[in-house]
Structure 1
Amino acid sequence: MSHAISIHPAFRRPAVLALILALLAMLGVAVLAQVGGERGIAPVASTSDIQVSGIEVDVRADSGSEARAQAWEEAQRKAWEKLDGPQLSDSQIEGLVSAIVIERERLGPKRYIATLGVVFDRQRASRYLGSEGEAQRSAPMLLLPVTVSAGTQMVYERRNPWQRAWAEYQAGQSRIDYVRPTGAGGDSLLLTYGQTGRRSRTWWRNALDQFGAADVLIPIAKLRYTYPGGPIEGTFTARFGPDNTFLDEFDMTAASPAELPVMLERAVVRFDRIFELALADGKLRPDPTLNIGTPELDPALQRLLELGRALRAQEQAAAAASEPTAESGDAITAAPVRTPPPEGSVALYTVQVATPDAAAFDGAVSAVRGTPGVRSTGIRSTAIGGTSVMTVSYSGSIGQLAEALRARGFTVNQGSNALAISR
């Protein structure tokens, strides 16, 4: 079956049709320009080998090649000392090395000056180093490297030195499981600086699910160019999570634009150390509110809940045993008995609250605290204009808490052990 498309006579003129086609073509170019172009930088493949960078050597010999060979042996010894390895001969250390990375070098007729990196094979070196570096790694963390310069904030909108420094970082030996997007295609539209200011767990969950990550790391590089060709001052801030939690901050300076990549490489290494320390301190845990379906529960509270369920089952069994039984031949169907929770049985639940403004936040907190059965409340995070998170101690089940909050005028979405409420 064919369908005829009618065009208004006013649009049948050749000049008008040409104008419409030109506008459509321009619109298509604009849409492609948002995601096209030279944007992506693919991260290097990670390896679990042990790499020691920044080894400086300066050796003189009868020839340049001989000076280089001696310098490489010296770099291997220095790298092994940095790892606090046991005393070994040069030949033994050389047998553990899998690669030499030349960071910078100058070769003369009888002199060799360089900054080198030494990569040790983990399997061969582990028998001397023991279990060092084999601590538990973090959950997958999405990386959003933010560059702030000249009043603009940039993540993956275009290729930049800060993105390249993270893409070229060898993160195989780090305890942080970095998820590094390439920045190509739709990454530049989804992962923007504005995303770091959002508090909505729904927005974050959608973004994290695209890359298989559990949470987010935000290393911020604020660069100030003093004058053309002059020093570049950098202020680096480490932040974490959907609430943009501050971890640490430090300053660095590059003598000239040519030294900027070196400064950024050193900054990446320092960021990795900050994130590892936060992981060791227990700060770098995935936010349980990012997944309302499977929230984390403290083991002590879990044991209290199991004890409460056991007491409830005992009371129900005792109540059933005390009921009068029917004589033979008489069928009596008893109505189900809903036994309330035992006195003092209290559970802790996570409640996410939509708080578009400060007044909504204050009203929601007061209303939840005044709900019958609520023993106490705590504020886990405050997000004015987004979603705040509370912990609620309630004497009853999560379904009863949901009904009690609905009676207070809230719209409630119920998860397995958490609620999302709004007015």
Structure 2
Amino acid sequence: MSRRISPVFAATAAVALLATAGFALAQVGKSTGKAEAGPASGDSSGSFEVSGVTVDVRAKDAESARLGGWRLAQRKAWGMLAQRLTGHGSTLGDSALDGMVTGIIVEREQIGPNRYVAKLGVLFDRNRAASLLGVAAQMTRSPPMLLIPVQVSGGAHRVFEGNSVFLDGWKRFRTGNSAIDYVRPAGGGPDRLLMNAGQTARRGRGWWRAILDQYGADDVLIPTVELRRSYPGGPIVGVFTAGHGPDNRRIAQFVLRVNDGNALPALIDAGIQRIDKAYQDAMRAGLLRTDRLLVTEPPRPELPVEETGEEALVDTGEIVAGATAGAAFTVQFDTPNVAALTSGESAVRGVPGVTSASTTSMALGGISVMRVTFEGNQASLTAALRARGWQVEEGPGVLRIRRGGGSAPAAAATPPAEAGNDSDG
């Protein structure tokens, strides 16, 4: 008896060579049974993921067999997740699992008239699953890391220019399960100019600071893949490198290979998973330390002191006019127009203890960034700004300020034209 097989299984042999590839051919919605078109761009959901769940189900027709396979995958994946997180198995009814599963990932499938054979991945809602299993839902994550994926193919280096299978792979990658807090630019507009392959070879910390401030990141990660093809449609070798920091310091390097050119997405997905693991291992080992020159301005050279023969002055702790010593902080503020930009700078300069305040990233109609030098620590700067009528949100070395709350400020800035910008900070 013949059996009709779906063409979805075209890359089976190549995927078998990469068991950890996790190639997401489609992400299937539980309620509609429809597959999403294209990669899930920038998917950062925090769902628990269980991959590599195999099912083989028979039913009266193809659709019933497929739905039965998904149900079986849910039950098997829940037991695997419980074993992984708690050390012992667990069982739940289908109704409870239906309310907890957020998606089904089709890694590989064969569909017959009354049979469904597949290898699936299952996504579980993190908070609900953690509550039932009695484990912590939160994980320790790195500081925000700007991601610049470089693909080298045929001697050409590209990041956001044109088509890039490496960039598409990072769009498919679900960062919510990683301890690395990736900042993934969309790749349009100024992204292609600010973050090209040439930028990854530059060492100037000043330009890197401006870019990181623009995207709200503390550091940069530069993963690279070099694709080597034997002939069109033939074997492909990928040389993957995990780089870190403005000096693009190598964290790890490895080589993967597939025999079929159609399996290139599987090769990329497997490489990205190993790169992410290398970054997580480096973070736990303390190797992803941020360059101190990316956090603060480099110290200025001291001016020579002329010998006058007079008695040396005693430091009383007072702020001397024109002094530039102090800690540098990044301050984000709303700039709906030019007047708001100017008044915001002057208002911050008027805060006691602030020795300098200059805009490093201007975004009219959005959120601009200024570099503020302050004689004191971050807590003192926050208190001084609040005393002047600013609302302040804090992060490591970064402050987000808005007008409103408290008494009227001494130097009032023009209020933002639209409150919708507040969510960008």
Structure 2 length-normalised TM: 0.57
1:65-214 alignment runs, 5 A limit? 65-85=63-83, 86-91=89-94, 92-132=96-136, 134-214=138-218
Matched, 1:338 2:314: yes
Give me the whole-angstrom Cα distance separating, in 1, the residues matched to 2:137 and 2:179. 8
Counterpart secondary structure, 1:159? coil
Give me the whole-angstrom Cα distance separating, in 2, the residues matched to 1:189 and 1:157. 9
Contact 1:52 1:117 in 2 (8 A): yes
Give me the whole-angstrom Cα distance separating, in 1, the residues matched to 2:135 and 2:253. 30
Residue identity matched to 2:72:
E
Matched, 1:51 2:49: yes
Contact 1:292 1:415 in 2 (8 A): no
Give me the whole-angstrom Cα distance separating, in 1, the residues matched to 2:43 and 2:257. 29
Residue identity matched to 1:46:
S
Q: In structure 2, do the counterparts of structure 1 residues 270 and 55 end up closer, same or farther at CA, with 3 Å as the change threshold? A: farther
Q: In structure 2, do the counterparts of structure 1 residues 245 and 133 end up closer, same or farther at CA, with 3 Å as the change threshold? A: farther
How big is each residue's C-alpha offset from its partner over 1:46-97, in whole Å with a ceiling of 9 and x where there is no partner? 2222222343333334432332233213322332244244321343544432
Q: Structure 1: which 5+ residue stretches go unaligned?
A: 1-40, 296-334, 340-413, 418-423
Give the Å deviation of 1:106: 2.5
Residue identity matched to 1:284:
L
Q: Counterpart of 2:247? A: 243
Matched, 1:231 2:229: no
Residue identity matched to 2:42:
V
Give the Å deviation of 1:207: 1.7
Residue identity matched to 2:240:
F
Contact 2:218 2:295 in 1 (8 A): no
How many residues of Structure 1 are paired with residues of Structure 2 in the alignment? 266
Contact 1:219 1:237 in 2 (8 A): yes
Most deviating of 161-170 and 69-78: 69-78
Counterpart secondary structure, 1:59? strand
Give me the whole-angstrom Cα distance separating, in 1, the residues matched to 2:40 and 2:194. 17
Give the Å deviation of 1:233: 0.8
Residue identity matched to 1:249:
Q
Q: In structure 2, do the counterparts of structure 1 residues 106 and 255 end up closer, same or farther at CA, with 3 Å as the change threshold? A: same
Contact 2:65 2:114 in 1 (8 A): yes
Contact 2:127 2:137 in 1 (8 A): no
Counterpart secondary structure, 1:57? strand
Higher helix content, 1 or 2: 1
How big is each residue's C-alpha offset from its partner over 1:176-233, in whole Å with a ceiling of 9 and x where there is no partner? 1111112112211211112112221112112212211111111111110011110111
Counterpart secondary structure, 1:71? helix
Give me the whole-angstrom Cα distance separating, in 1, the residues matched to 2:213 and 2:200. 16
- Pick the structure with greater CA Rg: 1
Contact 1:144 1:218 in 2 (8 A): yes
Give me the whole-angstrom Cα distance separating, in 1, the residues matched to 2:164 and 2:150. 10
How big is each residue's C-alpha offset from its partner over 1:136-194, in whole Å with a ceiling of 9 and x where there is no partner? 21111110111112222111121211111112222122221111112112211211112
Q: Counterpart of 1:215? A: 219
Q: In structure 2, do the counterparts of structure 1 residues 42 and 286 end up closer, same or farther at CA, with 3 Å as the change threshold? A: farther
Give me the whole-angstrom Cα distance separating, in 1, the residues matched to 2:174 and 2:196. 24
Residue identity matched to 1:72:
W
Give me the whole-angstrom Cα distance separating, in 2, the residues matched to 1:152 and 1:144. 16
Matched, 1:289 2:293: yes
Give me the whole-angstrom Cα distance separating, in 1, the residues matched to 2:112 and 2:135. 41
Contact 2:226 2:238 in 1 (8 A): yes
Most deviating of 71-80 and 81-90: 81-90
Percent identity, aligned pairs only, is: 44
Q: CA RMSD in A?
A: 2.9
Give me the whole-angstrom Cα distance separating, in 2, the residues matched to 1:138 and 1:108. 46
Q: Counterpart of 2:340? A: none
Q: In structure 2, do the counterparts of structure 1 residues 267 and 57 end up closer, same or farther at CA, with 3 Å as the change threshold? A: farther
Counterpart secondary structure, 2:44? coil
Contact 1:142 1:179 in 2 (8 A): yes
How big is each residue's C-alpha offset from its partner over 1:315-346, in whole Å with a ceiling of 9 and x where there is no partner? xxxxxxxxxxxxxxxxxxxx87538xxxxxxx
Give me the whole-angstrom Cα distance separating, in 2, the residues matched to 1:93 and 1:279. 34
Q: Counterpart of 2:388? A: none
Residue identity matched to 2:121:
G
